[in-house]
Amino acid sequence: MPLGTWLKAGTSAAALVLGMANAATAAPAPSPASEQSTALAAAVTLRYDDSRAGGWEAAIAAGVATWNANVSNVKLVEAAPGATAEIVIVATTGWPQATLGPVRPGRQVRVELGSQAVSQGYDKTRIAAHELGHSLGLPDTKPGPCSQLMSGSSAGTACTNAVPNATERSRVQSAYASGVAALAPIDGRTLIDAP
């Protein structure tokens, strides 16, 4: 083989090796912080509007905080005034009720926080967290113990637990895994939480 051909082949091979080495070192391995931010970025964000839920603000804030602290695949945020929200929350005089989700971004469900349950002794924060659970796709688990948030009124008026248990958290995590909720249909049934 002539010397010129050897030099061309050698130069091309060296360029290929250098190019591969640069590509391998150009993108450093992701740090735990960047992996965490990627996971947070993958969470489905749902906006809620509680502008017509006078008297329930503290209970709604506590219910939202509970869900946000216990699941990572979906985050509930308050909608800006005048913005469209996926979860519309209103105060009513009847029994609490909600549309069964999981709600998808751009779609809408309704939560009614009924004062009739409060007048009978049920805890406002548990009611709010329970009804938000319906919006996230959880049906009632009646009858059930106080340790199940979705047991609702069947746990009795002494129950103030507003935290979803491991099974409930897992179901919501699955419903919103990798944005799956964006493809899943809303059940659409209205669940009324009267005893």
Residues serving a catalytic function are 131
CA 97 to chain centroid, in Å, comes to 19
State the Cα–Cα distance between residues 77 and 137, nearest whole angstrom: 17
Q: CA torsion sign, 41 to 104 to 111 to 88? A: positive
- Would you say 52 and 89 are in contact if contact means Cβ atoms under 8 Å apart? yes
16-37 as b/e, with b when 16 or more CB fall inside 10 Å? eeeeeeeeeeeeeeeeeeeeee
The amino acid at 5: T
The amino acid at 25: T
